[in-house]
Each structure stands twice: as structure tokens, then as C-alpha cells.
Amino acid sequence: MSTDKSSPPLLKIDALHKRFKNIQAVHDLNLTVKPGEIFGLVGADGAGKSTILQMLCGIEAPTSGTMVIDGYDVVDEPDAIRERIGYMSQDFSLYLDLSVEENIDYMASLRCLPPEVLSEEKERLLHFARMAPFRNRKAGALSGGMKKKLALCCALIHRPNLLLLDEPTTAVDPVSRGELWRILYEFIMQGISVIIATPDMNEAERCHRIALLQHGKLIACDSPEKLKENIGKQVCTFNCNHASKARRIIAGELGIEAQVYGDNLRLFLDDAEKEFAVINALLIKADIEIKEFMPTKPNMGDVYLSMLGDNEAEEVNVIIHDDAMIIEQFQKNPVTSQLSETVVNVENISKHYGEFKAVDEISFSVSKGTVFGLLGPNGAGKTTLIKLMCGLVQPTSGQILIAGYDVCQQRRLAKSNIGYMSQLFSLYPDLSVIQNLEFFASIYGLSRQTARSRVNWAIDLAGLQNKKAYLARELPTGWRQKLALGAALMHEPKLLFLDEPTSGVDPIARAEFWDIIYDLSESGVTVIVTTHFMEEADRCNLITLVNAGKLIGVGSPEQLKSTLPVQCYEIKTSALLKTYHGISSLENVQQVSMFGETVHAITHNNEKELSLKMIRDAGIQINSIEKIRPTLEDVFLNKISNAQEALG
């Protein structure tokens, strides 16, 4: 770890409790955070992350326990605490009718910053955030990623000792996420500590230490590397045909849960060699061929699943679905061969708004049963493209066929084959579960008998048999998402759109949701997913990358990673921040990131390879360097960067 272990903690939490009537939001929490440390609070909705941050800010009073920041008690000395903390909430805390500069000035005035200090700090923050050219633009006109960067600048304007971030990168693309983390690294190197609440396991990898939370209780606390070492099982992967079917067989016959990632399965084994032989024999009987079985390094998603996945489903707000129920409902339309019919055919589609080309001559096709990922930075044209495929906007040129129907000429027939689940919860919060479903059944024009059957099916899918009278807003996030999915599937569409389907949920709920997606895929439903979570994109069969309205990459996750023209390295060091800064200064290094107690660096294939000797000769002291496989996020950032350079 990069922080001085002998230094006193900047934050000390002792026996902290918070109760809301009959709900124990935080239970006996004990934590310390060192100066210059990135500390992650990781857990699902309802784990207590936001409540902990709000108590540290003084927004919520603890039921009992103490919180001390830089020697000052949070409850007894609030004025001293306000000077020492910065806070960025989940919801934007910006004034949308004020400009970028006016928002910063206003926050500085609340902190009583002298004009000369404000001027210097503001210019420094605008420079770090690369927002100086937009200082006069209204906050309401900024993209989602730029709003997040502005909110971060506002939280940092008074140079706090401790920065509290509540899910700062939710719904932010990897480019903007990388920008936010780059800003954080700059301030970490100046000694600021950061506590970040996140459900994103890739983000958790970047923290020095992590607290895993469940229902307000601390389950584990350590560095990502130490937590991975304590999994106690071997993480293995293999490639096979019929991955979803293989998952069901392994779970049903052997009781081993596996996660599907496209054509690959990822699972925990006690004795990899022995258990693989049993798995292989079992799948051969089902005409499933295994390729490339190998142990692999665990990630934070594996840690979360191994530590929390054995709890009762009710305890983690996860409903275990019945695979057979989905397959039976859609069995009339199964995928029968690799050469299946084309469900989506996009030919040279364009959409212009005056001189602005939101979508520019994009072409692709999607076969029946494919899980298709549509990726791109904010403003890339993804939303416009989905609207075009749904027939909600008229194209400037080109043609789109959905299940063989032209979305412009045969709109009603095309729409009857489409199901859509939006990123923002698409049901009515003040209607009950059954009222929502009955309403959607009427919109789809289902007969009374059919509607009754489909409503019962959707309730079974969401596991809400005993909660039919609950208002939608009273349900936990994972249950609401399954209810919304059931509503989108009631008319048995051939094509299902999922817009950020698991944003804000933990890996257990996400894995369960994706098992449903794969069951739908196997049953012949084509699924188009938009997401900013690269872990989620890795689960797709096929991915399309879009930037500035143009298609810049297409292929399976494995194809895109294996053909990326870069070399990726993991560097271990006992001086993390100094190493990060030193590696960043090397000419042949394109990109540098901190991941827990390691530094990741990327160079182009035609550049000289990084080596231990080369780095030490540059005066950078490291312990080891190892080549690693590029991630899908590396693919995303590389292709977007190249596309933006080509645009000038």
C-alpha cells in the first residue's frame, strides 16, 4: 500500500449504528482510513453505503457510535468537519441554469474562500478536469460525464482532507470514468483521502482497501489483492458451445454455479483437475464441447460472489428464477442453428439534425438469439440509434428491418415484435405490482385470458407471488428490474432492448439477471443491450462500438481483446503513487491506471516492451512487472481514442 502505515488514521469510525424505525441501516461499523488512501465502500442498494457517507457529512445523525475526522468529532465539532470534507452525492448537486464557472464560484462562496485562493484553485481544477474551454457553458447543457466532473470540481474547490463520493461514475461511460479517476489520482498524490461508494467491481479494483457491506454489516475489509487471495477456491474458465445450457446442467447435476460470459463459463472449483473431468464427461453426454479450460486470476466480482453468494436469496434481495419457466414460455421460437434468421437488419442508416450527424451511415445485422452489446461514450449516437430501431424517429436515409418488417413502412408490425426496458425504471411507482402488469397487458392489446396468463407468468418471473399488492416503488432495485423485464416480455417479442439493465445492482443480482437474459437468448429472443459496465459488455455474444455517430468496431469480446494492437502490463510496487507518476512520464506509455496496490500500463505494439530493467533505469523503483491480457475497457478506450484522433 502506498500510504504510510505508521501514520495516524485520518478517519476513525467506532461502533457506529444507524437505525431508521425498524430498519438497521448500519450495524456496529468499525473502520479506519489513512491519509492519501482510496477506500471503497462496496455493496448492493440497501447495504448502507450512502447512509455511512451521509453520517460522515453530518446530514444524518448516528444512533450511536463515534466518527472522528482529522482529530475532530463529526457530531460535536461540525464546523471543523465541514472545512475538512468534500461531498459528491449520487444525484447531481449542480445548478443547471448556472455556468460551469458560476457553479464553482457559488460553492466557493459557501466555503468562504478568499478571492485570490478561489482564482488559483478554480483554474487548477478546470485544467485538471479539462473543462476550461467550457467554463461559460450552462451546467444543464453538459453531458453526463462532464456534469460529474463539474460536481467533483465543486467538491474539491476548498482542498478538503477527505473526499466522499457516492457512486460518482454510475451511468458514466469508460472515457469519462477514466477522466474522473485521473482527477482523483492527482489529488491523492497531494495527500487527500477518498472514500468512494460503488456497486461496480471494476471500480473497486482501483481502491487501496475495500469494505464489503451487506445490510449495514461489515463482511470483510482489506486490499483487493488480499481479498482475492482469501477466496479459498480456484477460479476457472472454459469456452463451449451452448454455454447457457452448460450452466444449467452443471448447476442442476453438480450444484456448481457458473457465470456465463458470451461463449465462456466462469466458475469456482475446489479441485480444478478432478472436477473438470466430471464436468467434461457430463457435458459430452449433452453434446456440449469444451475448449480452452484453464485456471484464471480472480477479480473483485469473484470475491463478492464467493463471500456473499452463499447467503439466502432473500437476504441479498435476489430472486432465483426458474430456467424452465422462461424456456417453456418462449419454446415456440428456439434457436435451432448457427445460421439462424436475421431479426435486426440495419442498412446505411443515418439521422441528421441540421448539420449535426447523430448517426452516420451505420450498417449491421443481428441474428436470432444473439445477445448484442451496443457500446459507446456519452453522445456517441446510441440513444438515437435505438430510437431509430424502435421506429420512434424517422431516419434521414437508410433502412431498418425488425423481424422482416420495415420500421418506417410497417411500424405497427415492427413494434409488435419489440420489447423495451429503459434505464430509468419504466413502471409506475404508485401502482401496485399487479396494476402495472395489467396496464401493460392492455397496452399490448392482449385478450383477457392471455393477459391473465402473462401477468401470472411475469409475477412468477419476478418472484413476487406474495407481493402483488406492493407498490412498485416499495420494491428493492433487483426486484423492480425483474418486474420491468417481465412487463417488457408479456407480448413475447422477438427483440428485447435493455438500456443499462443492471445499473446500481451488486454482482449477485447482476449474475441472476443475466442468467435470465441467456435463457431468453437460448429460447430465440434477440437481446440488444446498452451499457457502460464493461463486465456486463463482456457477457454479450457480439459487440458494436459507436463513436460520433459512426461504427468503429464490431466483434465478440474475445475477438476485440485478442486483436487489440497494444501490450498491457501489471506493475507491483511499494510506492504506488510515485510509480504511477513515474510510469506516466515514460514516452512510450499510452495509458496508466492504478488498480489497488498495482499500476496498469499500456503501450502500443510497435513500441519497445516495458521491462524491469528499463523502468528501474528510468529511476522508477518497482518490485515486478508482468504482461496481462487487455480488458474490454482497454479495447473501448483504445478504439475511442483512435477514432477521436482521426476526427481531429
Sequence ranges of the domains in the chain: 11-227, 232-297, 342-552, 565-629
d(CA 237, CA 290): 10
Measured in whole angstroms, the distance separating CA 425 from the mean position of its chain's CA atoms is 17
Mean pLDDT throughout 293-303? 90
Mean pLDDT throughout 128-155? 88
Neighbours of 310 (CB within 10 A): 8
pLDDT for the residue numbered 54: 95
pLDDT for the residue numbered 622: 92
For 21-135, list the strands marked E by DSSP: 23-33, 38-42, 64-69, 72-73, 85-88
pLDDT band at 314 (very low <50, low <70, confident <90, very high): very low
For 68-77, 331-340, 404-413, which range has the lowest pLDDT when averaged over its residues?
Answer: 331-340
The answer to whether 615 and 581 are in contact (CB under 8 A) is no
Beta carbons within 8 Å of 474's beta carbon, 6+ residues apart: none
pLDDT band at 315 (very low <50, low <70, confident <90, very high): very low
pLDDT for the residue numbered 316: 44
d(CA 587, CA 615): 12
d(CA 33, CA 68): 11
Q: Which of 474, 429, 480, 436 is nearest to 455 (CA)?
A: 436
Neighbours of 211 (CB within 10 A): 25
d(CA 542, CA 554): 7
d(CA 258, CA 636): 26
pLDDT exceeds cutoff 70 at 321? no
pLDDT exceeds cutoff 60 at 339? no
| DSSP conformation class of 631 | P
The answer to whether 296 and 538 are in contact (CB under 8 A) is no
pLDDT exceeds cutoff 70 at 228? yes
d(CA 299, CA 306): 11
CA distances, 209 to each of 39, 599, 646 (Å): 5, 15, 39
Q: Percent of the chain scored above 90 by pLDDT?
A: 51
Beta carbons within 8 Å of 268's beta carbon, 6+ residues apart: 231, 233, 234, 235, 236, 256, 257, 302, 305, 306
CA distances, 168 to each of 42, 178, 195, 585 (Å): 13, 12, 11, 27
| DSSP conformation class of 491 | T
Element of type H or E holding 348: strand 342-353
| Termini Cα distance of the chain | 40
CATH number belonging to the domain at 342-552, selected among 1.10.260.40, 3.40.50.300, 3.60.40.10, 1.10.10.10: 3.40.50.300
d(CA 267, CA 249): 13
Higher pLDDT, 338 or 529: 529
pLDDT exceeds cutoff 60 at 334? no
Fold classification of 565-629 is Alpha-Beta Plaits (3.30.70)
Q: What class has domain 232-297?
A: alpha beta
- Angle of helix 144-156 relative to helix 174-188, nearest 10 degrees? 10
The answer to whether 201 and 507 are in contact (CB under 8 A) is yes
pLDDT exceeds cutoff 50 at 138? yes
> Which residues pair with residue 260 across a beta bridge?
265
> Which set of grid coordinates corresponds to residue 36?
492519501
d(CA 121, CA 10): 23
pLDDT for the residue numbered 319: 47
Higher pLDDT, 103 or 200: 103
Most distant CA pair in the chain: distance in Å?
77
pLDDT exceeds cutoff 70 at 575? yes
* Segment 33-79, tens digit of pLDDT: 999 899 999 987 778 999 999 999 999 999 999 999 999 999 999 99
The answer to whether 597 and 572 are in contact (CB under 8 A) is yes
Helix ranges (DSSP H) in 476-567: 477-488, 507-522, 534-537, 557-562
Mean pLDDT throughout 186-214? 89
Helix ranges (DSSP H) in 373-418: 382-389, 411-415
The answer to whether 207 and 224 are in contact (CB under 8 A) is yes
Place of cell 507491483: 572
Q: Which of 211, 227, 224, 229 is nearest to 32 (CA)?
A: 211
Average pLDDT of the chain to the nearest whole number: 87
Helix ranges (DSSP H) in 75-162: 78-84, 100-110, 115-128, 144-156
pLDDT band at 209 (very low <50, low <70, confident <90, very high): very high
Q: What class has domain 11-227?
A: alpha beta
* Segment 532-546, tens digit of pLDDT: 888 889 999 999 999
The answer to whether 522 and 352 are in contact (CB under 8 A) is no
Q: How buried is residue 357: exposed, middle or buried, by Cβ count under 10 Å (0-12/13-18/19+)?
A: middle
pLDDT for the residue numbered 129: 85
Q: Please check whether the two domains, 11-227 and 232-297, share a CATH topology.
A: no
Amino acid at 303: V
Q: Which of 366, 373, 359 is nearest to 344 (CA)?
A: 366
pLDDT for the residue numbered 323: 59
> Which set of grid coordinates corresponds to residue 124?
487548477
Mean pLDDT throughout 362-383? 91
pLDDT exceeds cutoff 60 at 331? no
* Segment 489-516, tens digit of pLDDT: 999 999 999 988 877 677 787 888 888 8
Highest mean pLDDT among 414-428, 469-483, 589-603, 620-634: 620-634
Give φ, ψ of 377 to 5 degrees: -70, 170
pLDDT for the residue numbered 313: 43
**Alpha-carbon Rg of the chain, whole angstroms?**
25
Q: Which of 376, 439, 406 is nearest to 640 (CA)?
A: 376
Q: Would you say how long the chain is, in residues?
A: 648
d(CA 81, CA 67): 10
pLDDT exceeds cutoff 70 at 258? yes
Mean pLDDT throughout 319-348? 66
